[in-house]
Chain A
Amino acid sequence: MEMVPVSWYLLLAALLFAIGTAGALTRRNGITIFLSIELMLNSVNLTLVAYSRMLNDQTGQVLVFFVLAVAAAEAAVGLALFIAIYRHRRTIDLNRMNLLRW
């Protein structure tokens, strides 16, 4: 039974990362940007697990564990920020957040 080459997983992760990046840079809606960031984090997770398989070392999985935890913390804080901003400005359209404009 032939296996799926590990490199395919890595390529998939890269692709997902690229998609996530493009989304984070392009969208105006704050929530969507956040979701794209989460996508990027997940692609990293995939990469880590793939490497872990390749190198036959479970450390990669441990790292994924931590990444998961950090992502959770970050999501919590980020969304709290969003709420705070929304209360002030009634919008989370990032184009409107330009007080530091020239």
Chain B
Amino acid sequence: MIQYLWLVPLLPLLGAVANAIAGPRAPRPVHTAIGVGAPGLSMLLSLGILWQYGTGMAPSPFEQVVYPWTVGELAIDVAFLLDPLSAVMLFVVTFVGFWIHLYSTGYMAHEDGYQRYFVYLNLFMFAMLLLVLGNNFLVMFVGWEGVGLCSYLLIGYYYDQKVPPRAGRKAFVVNRIGDFAFLIGMFALFSTFGTLNYQEIFSSIAANPAAVTGEYALGLSMAAFVALCFFIGATGKSAQIPLYVWLPDAMAGPTPVSALIHAATMVTAGVYMVVRSNVIFQLAPGISLLVAAVGAATALMAATIGLAQNDIKKVLAYSTVSQLGYMFLAAGLGAYTAAVFHLGTHAFFKALLFLGSGSVIHAMGGEQDMRKMGGLKKQMPTTYRTFFIASLAIAGIPPLAGFFSKDEILAAAANNGHWILWFVGLATAGLTAFYMFRAVFMTFHGDFRGTQEQEDHLHESPPSMTVPLIVLAVGAVTAGWVGISKVLTFGRDFNWLHHWLEPVIATVGGGGHLGEGGHEAAGHGGEAAHHLSMGVEWALILLAIAIAVTGILLARSMFAKRALEGEERLIAALGPAHRAFANKYWVDEAYDRFIIRPLAALSRGFWKVVDGFIIDGLLHLTSAVAEILGDLGRFSTTGNVRNYVLYFFLGIVVLLGWIIL
């Protein structure tokens, strides 16, 4: 079955094309059958392939060349690679993707653009699968751009409103900035190695690390330069500082889109890219530390913003940014397994949270402001329970998924002596618990604060929506059990994921700051080396749990009964800081003022002066010259034959002179 790997991305593509051809006026069941069937088949096929791969019945890594493409010196194949890392991604993308597609049939049931939605969503699946399955950076980049395109298309789904198209454009443009850096990195790699194939590049580096540690550009070594470029690309796609600003705006798209693209899959592409290139990052310790620092800062910053938001989707958006920060923190510290682990668990509980919020919004008839909600647990029990489970997971409460992955990240920080980063992670965990349960209690507990009309409309969602919620909830609970850290098991090794990913994390000697830890981290396949004693580690774990529980209880005391009063107390307690949080630290405004306006002015200048005056001017000049010449020339048509004969004669004289003389 594994030889049909190429079919996995192709099926969604065919689905998109088929739905596009079927046209918007085909009967709805047709759209549903194609739109859900294609990713469904893809998922089943993937599960089969993964079972084959996982039980060792297939070679590892498994490469499949679909189309060898050579242009001159450039040899880039359209080829797929199934190795432990891409296998994990494949599972996450196809599994979560399918359930979200199913959910969409219920959520989008009343939409006119139903067909369009599924075309774009299937197209997205295709692009995302290309991204994770490619065996070289170019195929990854094609998928990278493709998901960016689909993100734009889907954010701007409600194109007749004012905000969504703008948000879509913002997402695309900000992404583009990151993509530019990504491209530069690829160019650097290609110019040095002559190929973009993962295996070739990484083995080349591993064999001769010195080749990439010499000075290359901007005072950085080659590895550092590429790592930096790649990381900037990742900040764009995975919404880190400074390119995260598009993600909250992207909530203008339909909620399942937010769930799939802006929580579970697309935004994790940056993390995947960094982990895939871990060889390069390990040889660039300075940049890796930068990655970790930016990740941590982003995590904290986003969490603070999240607790001052009233739109339920915005809370989740900033939460996503924050959790992605965790993943980059892990990757920067060399704990690549932890990053992937958190990526997987986050996919489950964040998708679940978004779908749950979609259920709520659906029941509220489109209302997204939590201040107008309340007491929904009575009418929407399934939604409530799954949402609650997901919130527990994200807060890091054992034995749910988030606890294990988050713990491993914090442990990586602590074990490498990065106490500041550890503290930031811990504080963020506390904030996460707090703002998530603020949302839970405000939405589901207490009394209903909306209009009577809305109250009458409240209902639990149909099975097409609740079943995916339940499935994902199961995942949110169990997904963490694949990577139980050795500490928790008192030295016994139950960390399956860590072993699974071992082949992908290279063993390279690293120098500099991250040297010791990095080397050790690498040697252990990316799991944080454990320098601290078991006792200290347990203390830290318990501390983290305590902080999380404190956050939950604090939220409950403030918001479970009379939420609006609790909100006022929160605002009062935080004082001026709350204003900063609520206004997102005015980052968008700053960008607008210092970057966008000057650029726009420059563009306008170019348009008016260079294009309007100079280029158009040249054209006008040409036509003006023709016009003037014509204007003057017409005087020669006097209508008087004698003049014409004169012209004739003068011409003859000239000719005669020419010939004779």
Which residues in chain B, 409-433, are within 8 Å of chain A measured between CB atoms? none
B501 smallest CB distance to A (angstroms): 87
**B642 part of interface (Cβ distance < 8 Å):** yes
In the complex formed, the residue of A with least CB distance to B652 is A21
Assess whether B639 is in contact with A98, with CB atoms less than 8 Å apart.
yes
**B640 part of interface (Cβ distance < 8 Å):** yes
Assess whether A25 is in contact with B637, with CB atoms less than 8 Å apart.
no
Assess whether B637 is in contact with A95, with CB atoms less than 8 Å apart.
no
Which residues in chain B, 606-661, are within 8 Å of chain A measured between CB atoms? 634-635, 637-642, 645-646, 649
Assess whether B649 is in contact with A25, with CB atoms less than 8 Å apart.
yes
A43 smallest CB distance to B (angstroms): 15
Residue of B637, B642, B646, B649 touching A100 (CB-CB under 8 A): B637
In the complex formed, the residue of B with least CB distance to A27 is B642
SS of B interface (majority) = helix
**Interface bracket on A:** 10 to 19
Which residues in chain A, 75-99, are within 8 Å of chain B measured between CB atoms? 94-95, 97-99
- Which chain A positions have C-beta within 8 A of B642? 25, 28, 33, 94-95
Summed over the interface, the residue pairs from A and B with CB atoms below 8 Å come to a total of: 31
**CA A28 to CA B642, docked complex, whole Å:** 8
Assess whether B637 is in contact with A102, with CB atoms less than 8 Å apart.
yes
In the complex formed, the residue of B with least CB distance to A100 is B639
**A64 part of interface (Cβ distance < 8 Å):** no
Which residues in chain A, 46-67, are within 8 Å of chain B measured between CB atoms? none
Assess whether B645 is in contact with A25, with CB atoms less than 8 Å apart.
yes
**A24 part of interface (Cβ distance < 8 Å):** yes
Assess whether B649 is in contact with A99, with CB atoms less than 8 Å apart.
no
**CA A28 to CA B637, docked complex, whole Å:** 18
Assess whether B641 is in contact with A102, with CB atoms less than 8 Å apart.
no
Q: A21-B649, A25-B645, A25-B646 are in contact. Are A94 and B637 (CB under 8 A)?
A: no
- Which chain B positions have C-beta within 8 A of A97? 639-641
- Which chain B positions have C-beta within 8 A of A100? 637, 639
Which residues in chain A, 1-45, are within 8 Å of chain B measured between CB atoms? 21, 24-25, 28, 33
In the complex formed, the residue of A with least CB distance to B640 is A98
**CA A33 to CA B646, docked complex, whole Å:** 13
B278 smallest CB distance to A (angstroms): 81
**CA A102 to CA B635, docked complex, whole Å:** 7
Assess whether B649 is in contact with A98, with CB atoms less than 8 Å apart.
no
In the complex formed, the residue of B with least CB distance to A22 is B649
B166 smallest CB distance to A (angstroms): 57
**CA A95 to CA B634, docked complex, whole Å:** 18
- Which chain A positions have C-beta within 8 A of B641? 94, 97
**CA A97 to CA B638, docked complex, whole Å:** 10
**CA A3 to CA B210, docked complex, whole Å:** 108
Contact with A along B13-30 (1 / 0, CB 8 A): 000000000000000000
**CA A87 to CA B635, docked complex, whole Å:** 29
A44 smallest CB distance to B (angstroms): 14
A73 smallest CB distance to B (angstroms): 20
Residue of A21, A24, A33, A101 touching B637 (CB-CB under 8 A): A101
**CA A101 to CA B641, docked complex, whole Å:** 10
Assess whether A102 is in contact with B645, with CB atoms less than 8 Å apart.
no
- Which chain B positions have C-beta within 8 A of A24? 645
Assess whether B645 is in contact with A98, with CB atoms less than 8 Å apart.
no
B529 smallest CB distance to A (angstroms): 95
**CA A25 to CA B646, docked complex, whole Å:** 6
Assess whether B638 is in contact with A98, with CB atoms less than 8 Å apart.
yes
Assess whether B645 is in contact with A95, with CB atoms less than 8 Å apart.
no
- Which chain B positions have C-beta within 8 A of A102? 634-635, 637-639
**CA A90 to CA B46, docked complex, whole Å:** 102
A22 smallest CB distance to B (angstroms): 10
In the complex formed, the residue of B with least CB distance to A25 is B646
- Which chain A positions have C-beta within 8 A of B640? 94-95, 97-98, 101
**CA A28 to CA B640, docked complex, whole Å:** 10
Partner-B contacts on A (CB < 8 A): 21, 24-25, 28, 33, 94-95, 97-102
In addition to A28-B642, A94-B641, A102-B639, 19 A-B residue pairs with Cβ atoms within 8 Å of each other are: A21-B649, A24-B645, A25-B642, A25-B645, A25-B649, A33-B642, A94-B640, A94-B642, A95-B640, A97-B641, A98-B639, A99-B639, A100-B639, A101-B637, A101-B639, A101-B640, A102-B635, A102-B637, A102-B638
Partner-A contacts on B (CB < 8 A): 634-635, 637-642, 645-646, 649
User: Shortest 9 CB-CB distances between A and B: which pairs?
Assistant: A101-B639, A98-B639, A100-B639, A102-B634, A102-B637, A98-B640, A25-B646, A94-B642, A101-B638
What are 21 A-B contacts with C-beta separation under 8 Å?
A21-B649, A24-B645, A25-B642, A25-B645, A25-B646, A25-B649, A33-B642, A94-B640, A94-B641, A97-B640, A97-B641, A98-B639, A98-B640, A100-B639, A101-B637, A101-B639, A101-B640, A102-B634, A102-B635, A102-B637, A102-B639
